[in-house]
Structures are given as structure tokens and as C-alpha cells.
């Protein structure tokens, strides 16, 4: 009975009602567009970090088109992340050294680091998580870090950072490379301090005692023999340490320790760095000491520093 009734009602939709539905649909589409514009306006001009993050989260995966209203010119989700990053640095007084380089190219914004010349960088959306994005150099497929504004996560990828900054950019002034790294570290720090983001600094972590875990688990003795020989060639002496480990005192009392944090059955080899200012990171050592870099690259398979496997794997 009731079914019949409903069908009857639909059938008697008047022209006025039809047109009203039509205008409503367009209005909804326009409202949706206007909400988008507000959010974009906020992303572009707000002075408040909180509003900036809210706008970026809102704009990421925003469905701007509706059945009745479509917008032909749209910024991509990747673009939104990049604009967010640039504005974040600007608002936290870290604008120097990071710029969006081609603002007119909607859909694929690129950015540059002031100290790295023409090398451009951009975001790429994760295939596993629609709110996750990888930041990397446009010319190389290397995810330097992963950013998820919605889940408040930023994770650096050790292997890619080393491949890019130590190998690809070899020959470039180390201080220029460090400046660029500093920009990324600052961005991560602002996210951590302002919004409580979970950050994995990985090979950029300068905090004393941070354990850089090697991929191999077990490090065979010849690898440490090699470090010993290379150190001695450079007037540093690798000292024997606890449980078959080793320690190397570098310049300014910076101490690198390589050891097994597991046990014989389940070896978990890695390195820690201690320095007075808690500034030195694994990546810095590779940049500052060519013999450590050579050692690392010669034994990359074993010495690779592990990053988050779920995100980057």
C-alpha cells in the first residue's frame, strides 16, 4: 500500500518542484565551492598556524565538483601540501631558503631550496593512504619524508635522504646541503611543537643516544675492520667497545658508537652519536667525514638505516 503511495507521489512532482530541486543542487554546488574558496583563502593568507593546518586538512581530498557544478581549474592535493609547507615555514619565521618556484602551474606546484640551486621538489600522494604524501626531488624518485596532516605524522626516510643528499648531490657544498636539511628539520619541529605531530627524524635526529638501527641486524666483523682501517688512515682510532662493539671519537668530542643492542641470538646492531650540542646526526657524519661515507656506501646493504616499513615499504 505505502509503496504505491510513494510512487504516486513521485509521479506528481510539479515543474516548480523540479526546478527548485535543480536550483538547490546548483546552490549546494556553489556553496561547496564557496566553502572551498574560504578554506583556500585561509590557506593562503591566515596568520594563525592553527587555521593554516585546519585549512590544509580541509582542502586535502576535498570534493569540489558536484553533479551540477564543476570547476575546471583546481589545485591538486599535492599542491595543497606544498602551499601548507611554504606558509608554515613563513609563519614560523623560517621562510628563508624555501620557495614555491612555479606558482602559475596549477596542478603541479614545485618548490626549491635556496641553497640547492635549480633542483625542484614536490609532493606525491601515497597509494596506500589518501591523506599521506611523500616529499621528494622531482628528478629522482626518492621520498625524503612522508607527511600526513590529518594523522599528524611526519617521517623522514633515512635511505632516501642519504641517497639524495650524500650520493646524488655529491660535490655540492656541504653547508648548502645542511641548510636545506635544516629547513626540513625546522618544518618538522614546528609541526611537533605547535600541533604535537609525531615525528620520526631518523637519520636527521641529532639527539644524543638516538639509535640508528642497521638493516642487517648482524654486522660481520670485517665491516668494522674496514671502519678501523679507514679511521686510522684519517688519524682517528676506532676503539674496541662493549659486547664486540666499537667507538670512534671524532672532532669536537663527537663520539660514534657501533654496537649490538640485541643479543647473540637476536642481534640488533646500530649506531649512536654523542656530541656536546646534540646536533650531530647520522646524515651529518656522512656529510662531514668522507671516510665514514665511503665505509657506509661500501657496506650499504648491511648499514642501511631502517625507516618505517609500513609507510615506505
Partner 1 sequence: MDNKIENDPFSQNDTILSSALTEKVKYLSDLNDSIKNGNDLKVYELMDPNRFATEVKGEQPEQPKPNFFGLAADLKAQLSHHLSNKLIDYLGTTYPFFYYHEFELGKFNIYFGNWWDHRMFGELDAINVQFNFAEDEYNTLAKSFELEAQNKRVNDDQMQELGQKNEKLTQLIEDQNKRDQRKEEIRKQIKENEAKSPMPWEAGKVKEEHQQLQNALLELTNIDEQASDGRAEIKKNENQILALSKEETIYNLEKQNIRASFGSFEAFIDNNNNLYAKYLQSLSKETQVTDGE
Alpha carbons 23 and 250: distance in angstroms, whole number: 73
Nearer to partner 1, 228 or 312 (CB): 228
Q: Taking CB under 8 A as the criterion, which residues in 137-176 touch partner 1?
A: none
Assess 237 for contact with partner 1 (CB under 8 A): yes
Applying CB under 8 A, the span of 163-171, 199-207, 228-236, 261-269 interacting with partner 1 comes to 228-236
Q: Tell me the closest approach of the beta carbon of residue 249 to partner 1, in angstroms.
A: 11
- Give DSSP secondary structure letters for 255-311: EEEEEESS-SSS--EEEEEE-TTS---HHHHHHH-HHHHHHHHHTHHHHPBP--HHH
Q: Which of 147, 186, 132, 140 is nearest to 162 (CA)?
A: 140
Applying CB under 8 A, the span of 11-19, 23-31, 216-224, 266-274 interacting with partner 1 comes to 216-224
Out of 101, 240, 252, 279, the only residue in the binding site for partner 1 (CB under 8 A) is 240
What are the C-alpha distances in Å from 308 to residues 43, 106, 213, 311? 29, 31, 11, 6
Nearer to partner 1, 221 or 253 (CB): 221
Out of 176, 239, 261, 297, the only residue in the binding site for partner 1 (CB under 8 A) is 239
What are the C-alpha distances in Å from 61 to residues 21, 77, 313? 27, 6, 23
Applying CB under 8 A, the span of 136-144, 156-164, 234-242, 304-312 interacting with partner 1 comes to 234-242
Assess 103 for contact with partner 1 (CB under 8 A): no
CA dihedral for 266, 224, 303, 261, sign (positive or negative): positive
β-strand 198-200 against 153-156: which pairing, if any? parallel
Assess 246 for contact with partner 1 (CB under 8 A): yes
Q: Tell me the closest approach of the beta carbon of residue 297 to partner 1, in angstroms.
A: 15
Interface contacts to partner 1, rule CB under 8 A: 221-222, 224-229, 232, 237-240, 246
Amino acid at each position: 500500500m505505502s509503496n504505491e503511495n510513494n510512487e504516486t507521489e513521485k509521479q506528481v512532482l510539479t515543474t516548480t518542484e523540479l526546478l527548485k530541486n535543480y536550483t538547490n543542487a546548483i546552490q549546494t554546488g556553489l556553496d561547496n565551492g564557496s566553502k572551498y574558496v574560504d578554506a583556500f583563502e585561509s590557506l593562503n593568507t591566515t596568520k594563525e598556524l592553527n587555521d593554516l593546518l585546519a585549512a590544509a586538512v580541509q582542502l586535502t581530498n576535498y570534493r569540489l565538483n558536484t553533479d551540477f557544478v564543476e570547476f575546471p581549474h583546481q589545485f591538486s592535493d599535492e599542491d595543497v601540501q606544498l602551499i601548507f609547507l611554504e606558509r608554515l615555514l613563513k609563519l614560523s619565521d623560517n621562510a628563508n631558503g624555501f620557495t614555491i618556484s612555479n606558482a602559475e602551474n596549477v596542478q603541479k606546484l614545485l618548490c626549491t631550496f635556496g641553497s640547492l640551486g635549480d633542483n625542484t621538489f614536490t609532493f606525491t600522494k601515497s597509494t596506500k593512504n589518501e591523506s599521506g604524501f611523500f616529499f621528494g626531488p622531482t628528478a629522482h624518485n626518492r621520498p625524503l619524508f612522508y607527511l600526513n596532516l590529518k594523522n599528524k605524522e611526519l617521517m623522514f626516510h633515512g635511505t632516501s635522504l642519504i641517497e639524495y643528499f650524500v650520493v646524488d648531490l655529491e660535490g655540492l657544498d656541504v653547508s648548502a646541503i645542511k641548510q636545506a636539511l635544516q629547513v626540513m628539520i625546522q618544518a618538522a619541529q614546528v609541526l611537533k611543537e605547535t600541533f604535537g605531530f609525531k615525528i620520526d627524524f631518523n637519520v636527521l635526529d641529532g639527539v644524543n643516544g638516538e639509535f640508528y638501527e642497521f638493516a642487517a641486524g648482524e654486522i660481520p666483523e670485517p665491516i668494522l675492520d674496514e671502519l678501523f682501517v679507514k679511521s686510522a688512515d684519517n688519524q682517528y682510532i676506532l676503539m674496541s667497545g662493549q659486547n664486540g662493539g666499537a667507538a670512534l671519537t671524532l672532532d669536537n668530542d663527537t663520539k660514534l658508537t657501533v654496537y649490538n643492542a640485541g643479543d647473540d641470538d637476536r642481534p640488533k646492531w646500530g649506531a649512536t652519536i654523542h656530541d656536546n650540542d646534540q646536533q650531530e646526526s647520522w646524515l651529518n657524519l656522512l656529510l662531514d667525514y668522507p671516510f665514514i661515507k665511503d665505509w657506509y656506501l661500501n657496506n650499504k646493504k648491511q648499514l642501511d638505516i631502517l625507516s618505517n616499513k609500513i609507510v615506505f615499504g
